[in-house]
């Protein structure tokens, strides 16, 4: 049972976990390999700390919903 949960979670990880981080292009990602000072690191900006918290909480609940939906579908297929 635990193995099924781990596999289901592994498929869904990343869908909502990086909502506050900007996704770099291929060239930006390659440039980050030699950016030892961290000047190329960027984050998605929010107007306020409350907005950032709202976005993170929303993403967390979206992840919970996605995992719950996946498990419900798997249960329906097996029963």
Q: 24-42, pLDDT tens digit by residue? A: 678 777 777 787 777 766 6
The pair of three-digit structure tokens given for residue 38, joined into one six-digit string: 């961290």
Q: pLDDT-derived band of residue 16, with 50, 70 and 90 as boundaries?
A: low
Distance CA 63, CA 15 (A): 7
The mean pLDDT value for 39-61 works out to: 81
pTM for the structure as a whole: 0.53
pLDDT, residue 21, reads 63
Residue 19 has pLDDT above 60, yes or no: yes
Are the C-beta atoms of residues 72 and 63 closer than 8 Å to each other?
A: no
Q: How many CA atoms lie within 13 A of 13 on its CB side?
A: 6
Residue 18 has pLDDT above 90, yes or no: no
Distance CA 63, CA 57 (A): 10
């Amino acid at each position: 049972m635990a193995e099924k949960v781990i596999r289901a979670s592994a498929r869904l990880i990343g869908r909502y976990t990086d909502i506050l981080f900007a996704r770099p292009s291929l060239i930006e990602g390659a440039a980050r390999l030699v950016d030892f000072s961290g000047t190329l690191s960027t984050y998605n900006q929010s107007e306020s700390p409350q907005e950032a918290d709202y976005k993170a909480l929303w993403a967390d609940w979206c992840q919970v919903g996605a995992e719950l939906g996946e498990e419900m579908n798997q249960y329906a297929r097996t029963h």
